[in-house]
């Protein structure tokens, strides 16, 4: 069977209505609300065909129909009107990054907050990933008699630092020498390329004065595998209670438990490396647990290097058009802001 023009119109009407009402849609509703110029009986026939084609599902014989994941996919790719932000919305976004936020963490947190407020869905944001970022300079700074700060600056302008314990009696000159060794070994490489074992080869040069070596190895390893890098900033987790399809304790609980699986969310957000806005609908999702959710995500950059992702998660019955245009705008705004702060 072919999806002719009229079928597409009916399908779009069903999807639009279902997104709006969250109730299974009947033929009479379509006939009344949408001016397609055909009777409910004809629509009934078309809907029966659409069901056969896999675009619509029926919960039970005497209920209306709801769109399948396949229908939403068609909707997102072809049917829906590609909305751009309305002027008053664009206005709202204007001031998003006007408050001074100098720490990366703050920018990320703020972004998550705003994103959730605007979209009305649960937002997820990950901080810039440094894995493929080039190390520009490494520096060991004396802070206290027994403490030094290991500072790694990167080409994207972002900085990473770790406090390390050092044996008493180490002077700045000595730290400087170690810094030079570290720079020779690692600067110009990316975080992913760092091999801690390289350090072991020059061990003798470093060990002169106690066990600073172990502290260094520790600090470096930690900077590479640091778990807070994998952190996902979530906001608006309780937004889910606003949706009728989650007015069910078990579903709500399942969803919220899902959000506690940070590894999964992280994997989800980093999987879509493509530029621009990505949509993953229901069963399209790589993870079983997310099969009745949709995820809209986008990457952000500093300069022209993709460094992280932002996204929202909600029911498959999602306002795709509005959400996607918002996501696009936010990702660009964030990129621009981060670049202005850190980009060269």
Stretch that binds DNA, among 35-43, 161-169, 285-293, 333-341 (CB under 7 A): 35-43
Asked if 51 interacts with DNA (CB under 7 A), we say: yes
Among 13, 15, 19, 47, the residue binding DNA under the rule CB under 7 A is 47
Out of its own copies, DNA, none, what residue 41 binds, judged by CB under 5 to 8 A for its kind, is: DNA
Q: How far apart are CA 243 and CA 121, in angstroms?
A: 10
Residue from 44, 70, 113, 283 in contact with DNA (CB under 7 A): 44
Q: How far is the CB of 259 from its own copies (least distance, A)?
A: 8
**Closest separation in Å from C-beta 70 to its own copies:** 31
Phi and psi torsions of 230, nearest 5°: -85, 5
Burial class (CB in 10 A: 0-12, 13-18, 19+), 277: buried
- Which residue among 256, 264, 267, 333 contacts its own copies (CB under 8 A)? 256
12 is a site residue for DNA (CB under 7 A): no
Fill in the per-residue mask, 152 to 171: x = in contact with its own copies (CB under 8 A), - = not in contact.
-x---x-x-xxxx-------
Tell me: does residue 87 bind its own copies (CB under 8 A). Answer: no
314 touches DNA (CB under 7 A): no
Q: Please give the full DSSP string across 29-91, using - where no structure is assigned.
A: HHHHHS--SS-HHHHHHHHHHHHHTTSEEESSTTS-EEE-HHHHHHIIIIIS------HHHHH
Torsion of CA 18, 22, 25, 28, to 10 degrees: -100
- The residue among 17, 129, 141 whose CA lies nearest residue 71 is 17
| Residues 98 to 157 in contact with its own copies, rule: CB under 8 A | 100, 102-103, 105-106, 109, 136-137, 139, 141, 143-144, 147, 149, 151, 153, 157
Cβ atoms within 10 Å, residue 311: 29
């Amino acid at each position: 069977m072919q999806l002719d023009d009229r079928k597409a119109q009916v399908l779009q009407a069903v999807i639009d209505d279902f997104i709006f009402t969250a109730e299974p849609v009947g033929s009479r509703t379509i006939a009344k609300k949408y001016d397609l110029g055909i009777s409910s009986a004809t629509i009934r026939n078309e809907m029966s065909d659409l069901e056969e084609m896999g675009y619509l599902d029926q919960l039970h014989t005497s209920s209306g129909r709801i769109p399948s994941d396949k229908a939403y996919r068609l909707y997102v790719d072809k049917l829906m009107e590609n909305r751009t932000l309305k002027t008053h919305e664009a206005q709202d976004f204007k001031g998003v990054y006007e408050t001074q936020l100098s720490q990366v963490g703050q920018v990320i947190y703020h972004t998550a907050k705003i994103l959730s407020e605007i979209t009305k869905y649960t937002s997820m944001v990950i901080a810039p990933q440094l894995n493929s970022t080039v190390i520009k300079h490494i520096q060991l700074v004396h802070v206290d008699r027994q403490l030094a700060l290991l500072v790694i600056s990167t080409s994207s302008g972002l900085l990473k630092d770790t406090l390390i314990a050092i044996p008493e009696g180490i002077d700045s000159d000595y730290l400087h020498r170690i810094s030079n060794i570290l720079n020779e070994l690692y600067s110009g490489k990316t975080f992913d390329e760092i091999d801690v074992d390289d350090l072991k080869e020059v061990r003798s040069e470093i060990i002169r004065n106690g066990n600073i070596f172990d502290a260094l190895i520790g600090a470096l390893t930690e900077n590479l595998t640091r778990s807070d890098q994998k952190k996902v900033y979530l906001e608006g987790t309780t937004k889910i209670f606003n949706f009728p399809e989650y007015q069910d304790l078990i579903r709500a609980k399942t969803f919220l438990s899902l959000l506690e699986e940070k590894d999964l969310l992280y994997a989800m957000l980093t999987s879509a490396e493509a530029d621009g806005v990505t949509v993953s609908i229901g069963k399209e999702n790589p993870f079983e647990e997310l099969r009745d959710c949709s995820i809209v995500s986008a990457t952000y950059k500093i300069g022209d290097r993709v460094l992280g992702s932002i996204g929202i998660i909600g029911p498959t019955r999602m306002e795709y058009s509005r959400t996607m245009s918002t996501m696009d705008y936010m990702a660009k705004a964030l990129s621009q802001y981060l670049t202005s702060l850190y980009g060269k």
